[in-house]
Amino acid sequence: MSCRAPVTLIIATAGHVDHGKTSLVKELSGVDTDRLEEEKHRGLSIELGYAFLQVDSSSTISFIDVPGHHRFINTMISGVCSADLALVVVAAHEGAMPQTIEHLEVLRLLGVDHYVIVITHIDKIDVSRRSGVIKALLASVKTHVPMASCPSFVVSN
């Protein structure tokens, strides 16, 4: 019998619509968090989506996938209020958009202070421009993140 208490890490997504939050959660957890027919038809999250990843017998990562569209900011707020960490998703070919910054401000106001930045759609920009784009995106996002540094990843999802 283990004396170790169960551990759950709650990770909320943050970022602009169509930057790949839902597909990233699906790749990490195996769960498509868009459940509604309208979400699938429109290709955007409307309600909060949930996914769970069992790490070991007593550790779970819970993902809360929030909508990125400005019309659903109240839904986003209700989803991130219990987050331990924010997965900030920014598309390489579009950069930080208004909802990206709005989400970061909400997270800051709610006291979320752990972040991971994921730059998605890296395949949509020319290889010769990638390092400059990545550097600029990280600098832009980090001006709104209350931590001096946070891990970042570049993916093609």
pLDDT digits (tens, 9 = 90+) for 67-113: 777 777 788 888 888 899 999 999 999 888 888 888 888 888 888 88
pTM: 0.84
Residue 148 pLDDT > 60, yes or no?
no
pLDDT (tens digit per residue) in 31-69: 998 888 887 777 777 788 999 999 988 899 999 988 777
Closest CA to 155 of 53, 23, 54: 23
* Mean pLDDT on 123-133: 88
Torsion angle of C-alpha atoms 20, 11, 51, 151, degrees rounded to 10: 50
pLDDT at 2: 57
Closest CA to 121 of 81, 152, 92, 94: 92
